[in-house]
Amino acid sequence: MKTKSILFILILVVFYSCSDKKKQEIEGEINAIENNLLPAIQIKDEPVKKYTIAERMEHYKVPGISIAVVKDGELHWAKGYGIANTNDSSEVTTNTLFQAGSISKPIAAFAALKLVEEGKIDLDEDVNTYLKDWKIPDNKFTETEKVTLRRLLTHTAGMTVHGFPGYQQKDTFPSIKTVLNGKGNTTAIVVDTFPGSIWRYSGGGFTVMEKLVEDVSGLPLEKYMAKNILPQMGMLNSTYEQPLPETLYSKASAAYNGKGEIIEGLWHNYPEQAAAGLWTTPSDLANYCLNVQNLLSGKEKGVLSKEIIEKMLTKHKNDWGLGVSLQGVGDSLIFSHGGKNEGFTNNLISFAHHGDAVIIMTNADNGGALINEILRSISSYYGLEISNQKVIEVIKIPVDQLNKLTGKYKLNFQIPGIGDYFIEMRIKDSSLTVNDLITKQVSKLYPLQELKFIDIESGEEVQFQKSGDSDKIGLIWNNQYPFSKID
């Protein structure tokens, strides 16, 4: 009896010794990652710059971050940094709720795909067949081609409204039909091009999907998700309830603008739940990634079948799957999605065929560049090849030439919830800088060519454009945002 007791104690000692060793190893990994953040660009022959997470949080005015890393098919580590709410000095923990923004979409897509698996919806049937008290208005574009669930999930349905600005706490919270009919703070969600003809990101399309799930299931989206999707995936710290119940306020992070200031009312509310309404944590999103990986490999049965997951991860136009963006092929296939709500910026990147993933959530409008720097550090440490630093050569341009590019520029279209967007080009220390007049962020631009510059922190490029022999100047930011000079 005494021998058995001693043996049991020895087993416990060995177990806890191994456990402590593993914990120390992981803490060492985290420490290395926290102290080796890298900007997007390294200038050739210049010293390599490395930063700490704390330094970059201060630099980008990001009060709080939460990170989860999946490695070898399990949650390897998760950690929170900084402040969740400056009003009460509460800190970010791994259980702090963040608004997921558009990462709400791939999780909500599981609801629609479950109804497909149950034979209640056909991926390629006209969704108006299933919609009840609201239908997509017919027009010349829908005469020959129809809006289907597949097209909604792959952003090829030809539907309008890119994204949603949300509603302040003091605002009247509209119904989903009010949003669909354009009676909220965005325009009506309609078809304005032939379904299936082009890829165009549409939060409006996912709002139609939300109505589809509700009409077919007979449940509000948040209740359907809470009953049939979230708990089955181990997302026990997540909800699609909008507005967030006051009982969860103490667990939720506040939202912060580009100046690092807390947003009035703590955060915005989103009736467009499928498109932007999820409150969650990186650890819960890690469970979503693990579910997809395990279902795809056939290791376990879960919310969806392997067959449906394979369809979800099949590339359509613009390398888009059913609710997720796709990169790579074969064993290197990655599914991912970014998320941006007012005062929240996030990213989820997961391999499909092996058990690695990274989820980073921030409570700030300026979180994007910081997320990318953390991704580069994690990618470098674990050899994931998902985000690498690029080495470039720059040229010198005389200040008198740079002066011709200075002035105020206006984006050629309006941003939902913001309106007109302005930046200003200035000279500082003989270099060109871009000053974001909305977020107040200032970035130095390095010349690659006479009219082509790069922000080495974000890796984004600026291409100036001259109109013939005239002095009229415009620019294209990061190959997708056109600006015109206004003074």
User: Which tens digits make up the pLDDT trace of 168-211?
Assistant: 999 999 999 999 999 999 999 999 999 999 999 999 999 999 99
Cα(323)–Cα(123) distance, integer angstroms: 13
Two tokens, residue 129: 């067949």
pLDDT of 4 over the 70 cut: no
pLDDT of 49 over the 60 cut: yes
DSSP-derived letter for residue 121 is S
Averaged over 22-37, what is the pLDDT? 96
459 CB-side CA count, 13 A = 17
pLDDT of 220 over the 70 cut: yes
Residue scoring higher pLDDT (19 or 377): 377
φ/ψ of 298, rounded to 5, equals 80, 10
CB 355 within 8 A of CB 70: yes
Return the pLDDT at 342: 97
**pLDDT-based confidence at residue 89 (cuts at 50, 70, 90):** very high
- Residues sharing a CB contact under 8 Å with residue 442, sequence separation 6 or more, in sequence order: 433, 434, 435, 436
Two tokens, residue 484: 């015109």
How do beta strands 390-392 and 41-43 pair?
Answer: parallel
CB 109 within 8 A of CB 322: yes
pLDDT of 93 over the 80 cut: yes
- Rg of the chain over all Cα atoms, to the nearest angstrom: 24
Return the pLDDT at 7: 66
CA quadruple 423, 425, 428, 431: dihedral positive or negative? positive
Place of tokens 């299933």: 130
- Which of these, 237, 225, 275, lies nearest to 98 by C-alpha position? 237
DSSP-derived letter for residue 411 is E
CB 352 within 8 A of CB 293: yes
CB 310 within 8 A of CB 303: no
pLDDT of 15 over the 90 cut: no
Q: Which has the minimum average pLDDT: 41-45, 286-290, 462-466?
A: 41-45
Return the pLDDT at 350: 99
Return the pLDDT at 10: 60
Return the pLDDT at 437: 87
Return the pLDDT at 16: 58
Return the pLDDT at 14: 58
CB 89 within 8 A of CB 64: no
Two tokens, residue 138: 């017919």
DSSP-derived letter for residue 153 is H
Cα(466)–Cα(469) distance, integer angstroms: 8
Look up the pTM and report it: 0.89
**pLDDT-based confidence at residue 294 (cuts at 50, 70, 90):** very high
Averaged over 1-10, what is the pLDDT? 64
pLDDT in tens, 420-431: 999 999 999 999
Q: Which domains does the chain have, with CATH numbers?
A: 98-365 (3.40.710.10), 399-485 (2.40.128.210)
Cα(434)–Cα(426) distance, integer angstroms: 7
Cα(364)–Cα(460) distance, integer angstroms: 19
pLDDT of 222 over the 90 cut: yes
Residue scoring higher pLDDT (203 or 385): 203
Cα(393)–Cα(357) distance, integer angstroms: 32
377: helix, strand or coil:
helix
ω before 482 within 30° of 0 (cis)?
A: no
What percent of the chain lies above the pLDDT cut of 90?
84
Q: What is the mean pLDDT of the chain?
A: 94
Averaged over 384-413, what is the pLDDT? 93
Return the pLDDT at 389: 87
- Which of these, 264, 216, 267, 223, lies nearest to 243 by C-alpha position? 267
CA 172 to chain centre: 27
